Structure 1
Amino acid sequence: MAKFKYVAIDVRGKSLSGEVEAADQKGARQLVRSEGLTPLKLSRIGGNDSKVSKKPKKVIPFGKSEKSATAGSGKLRSQGERVGLDFLKRLMELHGSGMPVADAVKLLNQRLSDPKLKKVAGFLWKELAEGRTLSRAMRSLPQYFSESSTFVIEAGEATGNVTPILKKIISYLEEKREIRAKVMASMSYPIFVGLVAFGVVVFFLAFLLPTIEEMLLQLGGELNFLASLLVEGSNLVMKVGPFLLLGLAIWLLAIFRWSKTETGGMAVDRGILRIPLFGKIVYLSEMFQLTSLLSTLIWSGIGLTENLRLCEKTIKNRFLRHQFRSARALVNEGKSLPEALRKFKFLPLIQLDVLEVGEKTGNLGNSMEDAGNSFREQLTKKIKTMTTLVSGAALGFAFSLVAMVAIAIVTSIFEVSKSINY
C-alpha cells in the first residue's frame, strides 16, 4: 500500500486536501471519489512515479509528434482554440436539450463532418467509454481545451450543472476571440495604407525621378531643391539603409533574447504597458480576460484559491502575472482578494471598491462579471481611438510622401519645359 496526497473539491466547490492509502493511483482516486469529492491533483508521497505526477500527462493525439505540435505554437494554439470552441458549442446544444454528456459526444462522433471536430469527438468518446470523465478526457487535449476550462467543467460535473458552465465558457471564449479580432482588424488597415504608400514612393524614387533627372541633365537643366532632396535622400538610404537594417535586426534579436530571461521578460512587458495608448489596450485586454474567467470560475463553485491559481496561467504579460502571483500569495495567507489586489495596484480603485462590496455581500461572482463588462467597454473605446489615430497618422504620412514626390516631379517637369523653351 502506498500513500497518496490529494487536492479535491466537494459538492459545494470548496477546495480540500488530504491523504489516502491505496495500492495504486486508480485505487486512490476511487477512494477520494467514494467520499463525495472530485479530485483535482493526486500524487504519491515519497515517490517519483511518472504515473502519478501532479500534472496530467500531455497527450498529442491523432498521430502528431510533440515536436510538430509545439512548432508554430501560437498559430496552432489559435486554431486549436477555434476547434475547441466549435466543439463546445455543439456539445452544449445537445446536452442543453437533455441528452447526457456521453451520448452527446457519441452522437457528435457519428454525425460531425468536419475532420478536426470529428477527431476530437472520437478521441473524447473513446476516453468516456473507458470510464473517464469529460473534463479528464479534455485535459488530454491541451491544444484544444485550456486547463482552466477543464477544471470549470469538472466542477460542473461534480455539482451536476454542466450546461450553464458550458454556456459561460463559450461566452468567455467568444468574447476573447472577438477582442482579439478587433485588435487585429484595427491594425490591418493602417498597415495596408502604409505599405501602399511605401510602394508608391519607392516606385517614384527608383524609376520616375531618375528618368526625369537624366532628361534634365541632357537638356542642361537642373533638379529643383525638393527633387534634389528626394534624390539625395534616396541615395543615402540605399547606401546606409542595409547597415541600419542590420543594426536594427541585431538590436531586435538582442531584445528578444533578453526578453526570454526572467529579468528581461519582466522589463520588456512592463515597458509595453507604459507605451501610450497601446499599453493601456494590453492592460485592459488582460484585465477583461482575467475578470471574465474569474467570474466563470466563481460561478462554477470552485474555491477562490484554486480559481486564482488557474487564472494566473492565463495572464500573458509577465509583469502583470508577477503582480497577480504576489497578490495570490497574500490571499492564500488569509487576506481578502480586493485587499491583496489593492496592495499591488493591480486593478483601478473603482473596480476594487466594486469587488470589495461584492465580497462582503457574497456576490463576488456578480461583481467580477460587472468588472469584466466595464473592462470590455473601456477596451472597445480604446481600440476605436487607436484605430482612428493610427489610421489618420498612416494616411497623413502616406499622403505627405506622395504629395512631396508629386510636387517634385511636377516642378521638375516645369524645369524641363523651360529648358526646351530656352
Structure 2
Amino acid sequence: MATFAARIKNGSKIQTVEVHATSAEDARLQAQRQGHVMSVKRRWSLSTAATLGRGDRAMLFQRLAAMIGSRVGTGEALRLLHDTFRGRISRVAGQLRQRIENGDSLVGAMEAVGPAAFPESTLAIIRTGSQAGNMAAALKEAVRFEQENEAIKKESAKGLMPTLGGFAAGVMTLLGTTLYVVPEMEASPMVQQMGAGQLPWVTLTSNILTWVAAISTFFVVLALVLTKVMRPIIPAAVDRLIIRIPFFKDVVLARKNYIAFYGLAILLRSGLRVEEALRLSRDSAERGQTKNDFAAALQAVRDGRPWPNAMTSLHPTDQAALGTSQDRSQVADSVEAIATQYRDIYRIRVEQLMPTAQLGAALFLTASGVVLFGAVILPLLQMTEAAMGGM
C-alpha cells in the first residue's frame, strides 16, 4: 500500500491530508469523502511500507481485542494505538483507522493494507471468526493460531530449506560430473594418447546415477508444477490428484486443512448453528477440494443427510468421529481435534522429509565424488604411471 498526499477543498479551506491506498484512483476515492479533491500525489518513502512482524502483529491484535471487548469503538481503539505506539504498529493502526473512517470494515481494512502486514492465513481466521459476530474473540484466536503456526515452523521446518538446498546441490554436482566431466575426460586427446581409457565401472555407474538424478529432479519439478502452477488454476482437480499420493498429500494439503477446520471450530464454539458455520467456512476457505467439501456438507445439512459423509476428503475415522457427536459442543470438539490432527500430521511429515532429503543429498554428493575419482583421478594416475614407465 502506497502513501498519497491529497489536497482537499472544503468551502474556502484547503488542506493536505495523507491517504494510504493501493493506487492513485483509490486514494482519490477515499479523499473525496472529505471534500473536493484538487490533486493527488504519491509520496515516496521507505518508512511508509505497511509491514508487521509476527510479534508486532500479536501486540496489535491483543491490544485491539482488549479494547473492542471492552466496548471501545474500533475507530477509537485504532486511534489510541496510533497515538500511543511508535513505528510499524502506529503506522498500520493509522492506515486501518483511515480505511474504517472511509467506510470499510476492520477485515476489509486489513485486506486493503495487504499481506505484508496481515498474512492471508491469519486474515482467514479473523474473517471467519468475525462472521460469528465477535471480533475480539476472532483477534485472540488469530494470535493463538499464529503462535501455534510458528511453533510448527520452528519444530518441523528447522533446517528444511538448507536440506533441500543440499539436495539440489547434490543433484547438480552429480549431473555436472556425469554429463560434463566424464564425457570431457573420455574425449580428451591427452587421455587417449596416453592410453588411459575410461574404466567400465565408471561409465556404468555414471549412466545409472545420471538416470537416478534425472528421475529425482523430474519428480521434484512435477511437484512444484502441481503446487505452484496448476493448483492456482484448477485447485479442486489438483487437490483430488494430490489426495491420491501418499505422504505428498500431507505435506501439501495438511496445513491448509488445519486452517480451514480451525476456523470451523471457532464458528461452532461461538454458538452458530452447524449449517451457518459450514456456510461461512465454505465462503472463507481457500479454493480447492476442502472448499468443495464444505459446500457438499452444507448441501447435505439442508437435505437432512449426515453432513460428515459428504466431505469426501476426510478420512473415514474422522467422518465417524463427527457423525457420532451429539451436540454442537461435541461437534466443535471433534472439528478442533481434526484440525489439530492435520497440524500434527504436517509437522510429522516435514520432520520425516528432512532426513530423507539429507540422505539423498549425501548420497548424490558421495556418488559424484566416486564418479569424479574414477573419471579424473584414475586416468591421471594411469597417465603418470605410463609416463614414468616410458622414462
> Aligning the two structures, in what range does the TM-score lie when normalised by the shorter sequence?
0.5 to 0.7
TM-score, normalization by structure 1? 0.62
What is the CA deviation profile of residues 390-419 of structure 1, one whole-angstrom value per residue up to 9, with x for unaligned ones? 322232233223222223333223321331
State the alpha-carbon separation in 1 of the partners of residues 54 and 365 from structure 2.
41
- Aligned letter for 1:401? S
- Aligned letter for 1:312? R
- Aligned letter for 2:292? H
TM-score, normalization by structure 2? 0.66
How much does 1:384 deviate? 1.5
Contact 1:221 1:415 in 2 (8 A): yes
Structure 2 residue matching 1:363: 3-state secondary structure: helix
State the alpha-carbon separation in 1 of the partners of residues 50 and 156 from structure 2.
20
Contact 2:132 2:270 in 1 (8 A): yes
- Residues 38-187 of structure 1 correspond to what in structure 2 (within 5 A)? 62-65=20-23, 86-87=56-57, 89-93=59-63, 95-96=65-66, 100=72, 101-115=74-88, 117-128=89-100, 134-135=106-107, 137-138=109-110, 141=113, 143=115, 144=118, 146=123, 149-153=126-130, 155-157=132-134, 162-176=135-149, 179=152, 187=160
Q: 1:320 to 1:180 in 2, by over 3 A?
A: farther
1:222 paired with 2:197, answer yes
Structure 1 residue matching 2:358: 3-state secondary structure: helix
Name the residue aligned to 2:281: 311
- Aligned letter for 1:167? K
Name the residue aligned to 2:302: 332
Contact 2:181 2:375 in 1 (8 A): no
How much does 1:127 deviate? 4.7
Q: 1:186 to 1:125 in 2, by over 3 A?
A: same
State the alpha-carbon separation in 2 of the partners of residues 384 and 256 from structure 1.
22
State the alpha-carbon separation in 2 of the partners of residues 93 and 80 from structure 1.
18
State the alpha-carbon separation in 2 of the partners of residues 137 and 89 from structure 1.
18
- Residues 248-327 of structure 1 correspond to what in structure 2 (within 5 A)? 265-316=235-286, 318-327=288-297
Q: 379, 386, 389: which one pairs with 2:353?
A: 386
Structure 1 residue matching 2:21: 3-state secondary structure: coil
State the alpha-carbon separation in 1 of the partners of residues 55 and 302 from structure 2.
32
| 346-355 or 222-231: bigger deviation | 222-231
State the alpha-carbon separation in 2 of the partners of residues 177 and 163 from structure 1.
21
Name the Cα RMSD after superposition. 4.5
Contact 1:95 1:104 in 2 (8 A): no
How much does 1:286 deviate? 3.2
Structure 1 residue matching 2:246: 3-state secondary structure: coil
Q: 336, 339, 342: which one pairs with 1:372?
A: 339
What is the CA deviation profile of residues 77-123 of structure 1, one whole-angstrom value per residue up to 9, with x for unaligned ones? xx9896688435323136437683544311221244444x4443113
Q: 1:358 to 1:134 in 2, by over 3 A?
A: same
Contact 1:152 1:302 in 2 (8 A): no
How much does 1:383 deviate? 1.9
- Ranges in structure 1 where 5+ consecutive residues have no aligned partner: 1-60, 69-78
Q: 1:374 to 1:411 in 2, by over 3 A?
A: same
State the alpha-carbon separation in 2 of the partners of residues 325 and 386 from structure 1.
33
- Ranges in structure 2 where 5+ consecutive residues have no aligned partner: 1-18, 27-48
Structure 2 residue matching 1:345: 3-state secondary structure: coil
Q: 1:231 to 1:367 in 2, by over 3 A?
A: closer
Contact 1:227 1:408 in 2 (8 A): yes
Q: 1:365 to 1:182 in 2, by over 3 A?
A: same
Contact 1:266 1:319 in 2 (8 A): yes
1:190 paired with 2:169, answer no
Q: 1:275 to 1:149 in 2, by over 3 A?
A: same
Structure 2 residue matching 1:62: 3-state secondary structure: strand
